[in-house]
Amino acid sequence: MAGLSSSAHRAAPHLRSSLLAAPLQRVLRLQLSTETGRGFVDGAWWPYGHDLAVEVLDLVKQFPPRLGRLAWVVYSASDWGSNRRRGIQADDALVNIGSFPHNDPHMVMLRSVSPRVSRVVRLLVVPPEWEEQAAVYAMRTAASPSNTATGSAILDESLDLLLAGHLSYGDGSGVGSRMSADGPMR
């Protein structure tokens, strides 16, 4: 490494590994309905990958505080890589995780707790590899208070619309924000 002293050269590998080990704060791609319990899903989550531990930790750390602290995450095993964990340590709390006893594809069920209330939120899991147009459409549909479709039906419709060319970029619906995660929820 030209221009570095021998001590800086020796420290560089350590510096690089600590930079790689430090998690980056990613935008939480989450959209919640203003009302829960009306349909099959209460919103949608579009994780960045299939590593359950990484994605749940990101979800836990950025979950809207007004909804309480996540205590349980129940997931569809078919959506994620192999997972043997029963819990994930997030800051000062352990979040229990488990899979559905039957395959409920593209779903995750969250139980949050707060001093006043415990709530269950059912989310559609949008596949990480999806095109943004289809993912945003699926998230909006899942979070609509009038939605009564199943998660699979929402994903099928989103994919059909994308393949038919009926979804496009540039409609102001980008995922560069927390979407509707901070909106009111009853």
Share of the chain above pLDDT 70, in %: 76
- Predicted confidence at residue 4, as pLDDT, reads 42
Highest mean pLDDT among 58-62, 78-82, 128-132: 128-132
Q: What average pLDDT is seen over the chain?
A: 79
Tell whether the model's pLDDT for residue 176 goes beyond 70: no
pLDDT band at 116 (very low <50, low <70, confident <90, very high): confident
pLDDT band at 18 (very low <50, low <70, confident <90, very high): very low
**pTM for this prediction:** 0.77
Parse the chain into domains and list their residue ranges: 29-163
Residues 6+ apart with CB under 8 A from 33: 39, 42, 43, 142, 143, 144, 145, 147, 185
For the stretch 86-104, pLDDT in tens is 888 887 788 999 888 776 7
pLDDT band at 39 (very low <50, low <70, confident <90, very high): confident
Nearest CA to 154 among 179, 173, 126, 174? 126
Tell whether the model's pLDDT for residue 14 goes beyond 90: no
Alpha-carbon torsion 62, 66, 72, 74, what sign? negative
- Predicted confidence at residue 157, as pLDDT, reads 96
For the stretch 49-73, pLDDT in tens is 999 988 999 999 899 888 889 999 9
Q: Are 71 and 96 in contact (CB under 8 A)?
A: yes
Residues 6+ apart with CB under 8 A from 108: 45, 73, 74, 75, 76, 79, 122, 123, 125
